[in-house]
Amino acid sequence: WVLMVTAQTPTNIAVIKYWGKRDENLILPINDSISVTLDPAHLCTTTTVAVSPSFTQDRMWLNGKEISLSGGRYQSCLREIRSRATDVEDEKKGIRITKEDWQNLHLHIASYNNFPTAAGLASSAAGLACLVFSLAKLMNVKEDNSQLSAIARQGSGSACRSLFGGFVKWIMGKDESGSDSIAVQLADEKHWDELVILIAVVSSRQKETSSTSGMRETVETSPLVLHRAKEVVPKRIIEMEEAIQNRDFPAFARLSCSDSNQFHAVCLDTSPPIFYMNDTSHRIISCVEKWNRSEGTPQVAYTFDAGPNAVMIARNRKTAALLLQRLLFHFPPQSDVDINSYIVGDKSI
């Protein structure tokens, strides 16, 4: 017999960024962060997990290609989930798996991203969140999504925020064990559903410095990052929560743009400096800033993760259409400017 579960998890985009760990193994951050979860139709991972007595080892395939599960992060997630497994019974199939059986049974995991991995868009957040969620369902883990987020966090920090839709806060926590470093939902996907996300895929190249090593170098060498984590982010988190509750777009846009810019300033403050944005990214920022200023009140927020791709959040559909028009005029795809494509989608899950 084979028992299977399939789950789908969207990716999330941080508007107050996580950058820097206080514990590398448990993946504990130096500040809180806030993100928006995307609509699963656009950027998501679908994962099927299967268990069978005929499987002789744990195996995983990503987009059809087998990958190694030996890495510490996968192993932590598998171990944590297995330790919480409970009895499972499928009467129709005549299957009964006890809590103890799970420790010896092997798993096969197949995961697909509905966007090209080559697009250079973060996939680890959706991937690890989906892995943890589908395994938890298969093994009848009784924990709620916040508790599961603490497991996904050990796969990749940003993954913990993908267990909820809408707006999500990752609370950094204080405990050394990481038990209070969890994600909570600030507002559900219906709360502010007129927002539209537009992503300009500026470069499909693999980033040179991974988030993991980039943030390690920042914490080791940047004098600015401590000021950011201790003085700036705590205030921004409070203001951002308020902006989200009140659907205050000007405040939301101001905070998102400033936080993205400070994150990249901290990368520049790292030694040697890390450059994630390129000339096209900078031109997109200027274009949005100019437009926002000419309108008198912000119409679009931008944010950039550890790469040159621009994530823009428009206040509504009409603004999104105008933004796309404007971008296509300034940056036609396949032109000398290296934008490959635009992805437009709803924020809500």
Residues that bind ligand DP6 (CB under 6 A): 14, 17-19, 27, 33, 122, 124, 156-158, 211-212, 305-306
Q: Measured from the CB of residue 63, what is the shortest distance to ligand DP6 in angstroms?
A: 18
Contacts of residue 12, defined as CB under 8 A and 6 or more positions apart, other chains included, come to 35, 36, 37, 38, 125, 126, 158, 161, 162, 168
d(Cα 230, Cα 234) in Å, to the nearest integer? 7
Burial of 204: CB neighbours in 10 Å, binned 0-12, 13-18, 19+:
middle
Query: Among the residues of the chain, which ranges form H helices?
Result: 72-83, 124-138, 145-152, 211-221, 224-227, 233-245, 249-268, 279-295, 317-330
Complex with ligand DP6: residue 9 or 158, whichever CB lies closer: 158
Q: Measured from the CB of residue 318, what is the shortest distance to ligand DP6 in angstroms?
A: 29
Complex with ligand DP6: residue 138 or 236, whichever CB lies closer: 236
Q: Measured from the CB of residue 88, what is the shortest distance to ligand DP6 in angstroms?
A: 30
Tokens of 185: 């939902």
d(Cα 50, Cα 42) in Å, to the nearest integer? 25
Complex with ligand DP6: residue 185 or 319, whichever CB lies closer: 185
- Closest residue by beta carbon to ligand DP6: 157
Complex with ligand DP6: residue 138 or 198, whichever CB lies closer: 198
Complex with ligand DP6: residue 85 or 168, whichever CB lies closer: 168
DSSP code of residue 102: G
Q: Measured from the CB of residue 321, what is the shortest distance to ligand DP6 in angstroms?
A: 27
Q: Measured from the CB of residue 332, what is the shortest distance to ligand DP6 in angstroms?
A: 28
| Residue 219, phi then psi, degrees to nearest 5 | -60, -35
Tokens of 226: 């401590």
Q: Measured from the CB of residue 133, what is the shortest distance to ligand DP6 in angstroms?
A: 16
Complex with ligand DP6: residue 37 or 158, whichever CB lies closer: 158
- 201: enclosing H helix or E strand: strand 196-201
Complex with ligand DP6: residue 14 or 314, whichever CB lies closer: 14
Q: Measured from the CB of residue 196, what is the shortest distance to ligand DP6 in angstroms?
A: 20
